[in-house]
């Protein structure tokens, strides 16, 4: 299996192998700003003790078990936390947990939009606000590819379930934070 030389959890390895073996699915994830690379890229980050400091400056994270598995176009990293939750560690000081489990994260992506589009506090105040905002967004050009991916894994396309997944992820406690260890940097959360 691909990614066997990494310390990623088996469930995530299987998804990543499936995605990297299917160019259409890989492109669809890339267009949703989840750039998945090969095993060597993941292994290089695992072997780099400084990736968090390089990304955010010197700091201490509220979670010590963070494993990068993808990045976005800005250079931010998608990480698996405690081998199950999915977090985001940005380049501008933003970070947080976006999905309570790997399956929820993959289900969220299968809706075919940027995860950051879903994480806007103004649209997450109520389920109605969220559903109204989804009505205003365009369909993904990868709808067929994501539909196949969702069907293969038994993912839901129910928008109220997507709202529940996002709220469950964004409200996990303790929150993902990076506390600065010197005055030149600020805390991130």
The DSSP letter of residue 182 is S
Q: How many CA atoms lie within 13 A of 113 on its CB side?
A: 17
Confidence category of residue 189, pLDDT binned at 50, 70, 90? low
Maximum C-alpha span of the chain: 49
Tokens of 69: 């598995």
Query: 107: part of which helix (H) or strand (E)?
Result: helix 102-109
What's the average model confidence in pLDDT over 131-158? 89
Question: Does the pTM of the predicted model rise above 0.85?
Answer: yes
pLDDT in tens, 157-171: 999 999 999 999 999
Residue-wise pLDDT tens digits, 63-100? 899 999 999 998 989 999 999 999 998 887 788 999 99
């Amino acid at each position: 299996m691909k990614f066997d030389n990494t310390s990623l959890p088996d469930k995530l390895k299987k998804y990543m192998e499936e995605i990297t073996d299917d160019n259409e699915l890989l492109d669809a994830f890339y267009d949703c700003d989840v750039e998945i690379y090969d095993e060597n890229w993941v292994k290089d980050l695992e072997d780099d003790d400084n990736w968090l400091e390089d990304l955010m400056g010197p700091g201490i994270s509220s979670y010590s078990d963070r494993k990068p598995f993808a990045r976005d176009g800005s250079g931010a990293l998608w990480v698996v936390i405690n081998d199950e939750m999915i977090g985001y560690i940005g380049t501008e000081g933003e970070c947080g947990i976006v999905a309570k489990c790997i399956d929820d994260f993959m289900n969220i992506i299968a809706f075919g939009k940027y995860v950051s589009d879903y994480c806007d506090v103004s649209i997450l105040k109520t389920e109605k606000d969220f559903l109204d905002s989804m009505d205003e967004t365009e369909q993904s050009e990868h709808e067929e590819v994501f539909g196949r991916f969702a069907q293969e894994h038994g993912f839901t396309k129910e928008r109220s379930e997507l709202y529940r997944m996002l709220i469950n992820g964004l409200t996990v406690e303790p929150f993902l934070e990076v506390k600065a260890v010197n005055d030149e940097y600020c805390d991130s959360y």
